[in-house]
Amino acid sequence: MPEAPDATAIQNPATGEVIERLELAGPAAVDAAVLAARKAQPDWGAATPGERAAVLNRVATLLQERAEDFAAVETRQCGKPIRLSREFDVPGTADNATFFAGAARVLEGKASGEYSAAHTSSIRREPLGVIGSIAPWNYPLNMAGWKVFPALAAGNAVVIKPAEITPLTTVMLARLFEEAGLPDGVLGVVVGTGPVAGEALVSHPEVDMVSFTGSTPVGKRVAELAARGPRRVHLELGGKAPFLVFDDADLEAAVHGAVAGALINGGQDCTAATRAYVQRPLYEQFVAGVADVLGTVRMGDPADPATDLGSLISARQAQRVHGFVSRALAAGARAVRGGSAPDGAFYSPTLLVGAAQDAEIVRDEVFGPVLVVLPFDSDEQGLALANDTRFGLAASAWTRDVFRAGRASRELAAGCVWINDHIPIVSEMPHGGIKASGYGKDMSAYALEEYTAVKHVMTENTGIARKDWHRTVFGAGGGSDV
């Protein structure tokens, strides 16, 4: 395992300003956090659901009270527009905390009963123990909440490693938990690199489950390391969401939905609308409409409430996005909007047409403000093109026809399918993918299932010493009558 660098500078990607310098955790720091979590977990796990819920509710209240501070820091470390931080990241995280405070008190299981005539069976849901969580840089606060809240609600202890370039709001969230009365050790934060702190966490023998959100290649590495435990793994990985527009769709709604779905968080979203398939009668109008709306998008200072599109996470990421676009143009695609070289970490919203289905820009995750549009003819072809991907995180279909909508909801191969919208999420509903997009669910009561173990308790209720089934072991005449 490589040695940890001593420190990292947290930068505002929009300006290059160094916001803060933090020491980076190495294996020793990870070990200390995990052992503290192991020591603290039994008492936390023995707390009543109501006691755990009270802490989560206090965190939600504190987060709402300090929403502006959290939003400002999230925007500074990520380069995302302040409107997104204020209206989605922070309130969405507070709502998630409130949801899991309630959900912790209503864990469900099969009813107790006599499923065998001589026994009463019941189901217990119990915490797994210590959870090692790794969160990404695109939604640092949101993703920390998605991982920490259900795990703590279920009675686990958590050690979370945020991305080393965006750790600040995760550290702030941990301090809220301290203030809310969470016992020492139950939640630990280690700020370090993936190859050092991340691998030490995933491989630690005292970690009972690993929860990772990030790219598919890194997710495979996480699964490989965790399997040596073996330990439970939850993976939310990459996506390449199709945006399927049938010829009876509301064109204005589809155009606006495509722009919003492609540009949210600068396109740095695993569920972003990245490839639109439009039935041929609407294709030209759709392309023209999207180009027009993209022309109104205001790119600039992320801290300015008037800004629609801030910077990407780094100049390096902007160059990576431009590499995808440049290769697509060289292969025969055409830029209707954008496509020019980045300005530092800023990249103009880009609309591409003319790419082939097997082109890199259509197949691989770009993670930037780029939408590629392709035509299709029959419904069957559109659905087949949408499903022609190794990913399966999210998809949307746009139609006024209830039968088309029903077919799309059944046949689109994704963990989430939106009809006549793209991107909205709610705490009550699960989020997670299939295929190369991973497995397991964030949010909703299904997330609590990820962080609990099902225990079957079977109680003999007759008091008879000699059971009929004993004959299969020592015969009808054997054994004692006592």
Q: Per-residue pLDDT tens for 304-326?
A: 999 999 999 999 999 999 999 99
Which of 114-118, 171-175, 363-367, 416-420 shows the lowest mean pLDDT across its residues? 114-118
Q: Per-residue pLDDT tens for 117-151?
A: 899 999 999 999 999 999 999 999 999 999 999 99
Q: Per-residue pLDDT tens for 335-388?
A: 999 999 999 999 999 999 999 999 999 999 999 999 999 999 999 999 999 999
- Label residue 475 by pLDDT band (50, 70, 90): confident
Report which of 225, 228, 160 is spatially closest to residue 199, judged by C-alpha positions.
225
Residue that wins the pLDDT comparison between 479 and 241: 241
Task: Please state the rounded mean pLDDT for residues 1-29.
Answer: 85
Domains and CATH numbers, the chain: 7-237+433-457 (3.40.605.10), 241-419 (3.40.309.10)
Among all residues, which ones are annotated catalytic? 236, 270
Residue 477 has pLDDT above 70, yes or no: no
Residue 440 has pLDDT above 70, yes or no: yes
Residue 482 has pLDDT above 80, yes or no: no
